[in-house]
Amino acid sequence: MAYVRPSTATANCGKVFEIGPIGRVPRFCRPACRTAACDRAKRGGRPSAEDNQLALIWGVLQDAGVIPADRPLPIRKSEGGA
């Protein structure tokens, strides 16, 4: 019985696709998916859990009337040198 390689999901879009019988396992389903992943990395990727939590709490405080609704979300200072 011949070995059948399993399907894999794309690292960027999550699309499941079949992989060939030989060679390395691809990380992307097509070149456009690779380009989109590169562009996302250049922009800084996904927001961190801390950023998501800050936005959620900020919205709750605005809904409760503690913070004025027209006040923008504060920008976190980057952690690190200089």
List the domain boundaries for the chain.
8-43, 46-76
Q: How would you classify residue 65: left for phi > 0, otherwise alpha for psi between -120 and 50, otherwise beta? A: left
Q: What is the pLDDT of residues 16-71, one digit of tens each?
A: 878 888 888 888 888 888 888 888 878 776 767 788 888 888 888 988 989 888 88
Query: How many Cβ atoms are within 10 Å of 58's Cβ, its own excluded?
Result: 15
Those residues with Cβ within 8 angstroms of residue 13's Cβ, 6 or more apart along the chain or in another chain: 29, 33, 36
pLDDT at res. 45: 65
